[in-house]
């Protein structure tokens, strides 16, 4: 059965995009059929797959506009790009235009309508979202089975985490009863183990009812360098500790989600 997992945290820079990129690769390496969806007008996920947004014809931007205007969708092959073992629906800046229209027309289920028919083709559909709780993220939550929350301990945004989980509760009540928070995972972890123990304890105390993944993604420049080369960190350096951590996170996702 296909799982649609949305990577979300309204804070920017917590590694949503890097985690979507590397988890998609890791799950595909483990034999899963994976579709990654760039649902952020900043197009970072698209770029991290080595695709220049200007070169793509169909994207989440054009597809969402077609959904909003009740137009027929083009053939799947025109908007799903095959990049190694991972498939990608890219994004373009014009996704902001679709976002405004979603807001005006109060359309929360455009992404759900796009992804639902694709469920039969994939084991996992991973959706990257931008740093806001606006209409795009609401659409992503409405389409989701699970939400994974990357948490950067250095930024220590417990208040933001509460706003995020409250928003997800409202979505569950009003728009998507099946949605669950798959779990929280720590990203960009430095070797300051005391800091992590303290923060981890505080997250457990405040959000103990949620699943917290064991795998922590260590801080390393290799993640950013892989993104800029259009590669996963495993392809850049399979022995890198972040590469190993993302593979372990993928194993946990397979077991848990």
Q: Which of 10, 18, 46, 59 binds ligand ADP (CB under 6 A)?
A: 18
* CA 228 vs CA 16, 52, 112, 251: distances in Å: 15, 11, 30, 25
Our finding on whether 22 is near ligand ADP (CB under 6 A) is no
Query: What track of x and - describes contact with Mg ion for positions 17 through 36 (by CB under 5 A)?
Result: x-------------------
- The nearer residue to ligand ADP, 48 or 107, going by C-beta atoms, is 48
Our finding on whether 92 is near ligand ADP (CB under 6 A) is no
Our finding on whether 190 is near ligand ADP (CB under 6 A) is no
CA gyration radius, the chain: 17
Our finding on whether 243 is near ligand ADP (CB under 6 A) is no
> Which residues are bridge partners to 183 per DSSP?
148
Q: In what order do the strands lie in the sheet with 81-83?
A: 81-83, 86-89, 34-39, 124-129, 3-7, 146-152, 180-187
Q: Which residues contact 140 (CB under 8 A, 6 or more apart)?
A: 6, 8, 39, 111, 127, 129
Query: What track of x and - describes contact with ligand ADP for positions 101 through 140 (by CB under 6 A)?
Result: ------------------------------x---------
- The nearer residue to ligand ADP, 37 or 67, going by C-beta atoms, is 37
Q: Which of 2, 3, 13, 65 binds ligand ADP (CB under 6 A)?
A: 13
Our finding on whether 227 is near ligand ADP (CB under 6 A) is yes
CB of 7 to Mg ion, least distance (A): 8
Our finding on whether 23 is near ligand ADP (CB under 6 A) is no
Q: Which stretch binds Mg ion (CB under 5 A): 11-19, 119-127, 138-146, 236-244?
A: 11-19
Would you say 60 and 90 are in contact if contact means Cβ atoms under 8 Å apart?
A: yes
With tokens 């405004």, the residue in question is 100
The listed partner (ligand ADP, Mg ion, none) that binds 219, CB under 5 to 8 Å by sort, is: ligand ADP
Residue 4 region, left (φ>0) first, then alpha (ψ -120 to 50), else beta?
beta
The distance of Cα 45 from the centroid of its chain, to the nearest Å, equals 9
Q: How many CA atoms lie within 13 A of 147 on its CB side?
A: 29
Our finding on whether 46 is near Mg ion (CB under 5 A) is no
Q: What is the DSSP letter of 34?
A: E
Q: How many CA atoms lie within 13 A of 254 on its CB side?
A: 17
Length of the chain in residues, anyone?
Answer: 257
**Footprint (CB under 6 A) of ligand ADP, residues 26-45:** 44
The distance of Cα 223 from the centroid of its chain, to the nearest Å, equals 16
Our finding on whether 242 is near ligand ADP (CB under 6 A) is yes
Binding site for Mg ion (CB under 5 A): 16-17, 44
**Interface ranges with ligand ADP (CB under 6 A):** 12-18, 44, 131, 187-188, 217, 219-220, 223-224, 227, 242
């Amino acid at each position: 059965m296909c799982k649609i997992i949305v990577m979300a945290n309204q804070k920017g820079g917590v590694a949503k995009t890097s985690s979507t990129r590397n988890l998609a690769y890791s799950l595909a390496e483990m034999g899963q059929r994976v579709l990654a969806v760039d649902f952020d007008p900043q197009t970072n996920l698209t770029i991290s797959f080595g695709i220049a947004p200007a070169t793509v014809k169909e994207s989440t931007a054009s597809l969402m506009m077609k959904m909003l205007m009740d137009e027929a969708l083009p053939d799947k092959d025109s908007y799903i790009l095959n990049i190694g073992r991972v498939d990608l629906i890219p994004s373009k800046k014009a996704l902001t235009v679709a976002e405004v229209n979603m807001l005006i027309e109060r359309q929360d289920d455009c992404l759900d309508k796009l992804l639902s028919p694709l469920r039969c083709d994939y084991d996992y559909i991973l959706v990257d979202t931008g740093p806001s709780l606006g209409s795009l993220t609401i659409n992503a939550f409405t389409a989701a089975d699970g939400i994974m929350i990357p948490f950067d301990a250095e930024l220590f945004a417990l208040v933001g985490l509460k706003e995020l989980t409250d928003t997800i509760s409202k979505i569950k009540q009003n728009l998507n009863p099946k949605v669950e928070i798959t779990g929280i995972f720590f990203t960009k972890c430095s070797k300051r183990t005391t800091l992590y123990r303290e923060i981890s304890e505080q997250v457990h105390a405040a959000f103990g009812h949620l699943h917290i993944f064991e795998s922590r993604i260590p801080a390393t420049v290799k993640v950013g360098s892989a993104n800029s080369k259009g590669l996963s960190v495993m392809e850049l350096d399979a022995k890198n500790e972040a590469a190993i951590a993302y593979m372990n996170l993928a194993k946990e996702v397979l077991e848990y989600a």
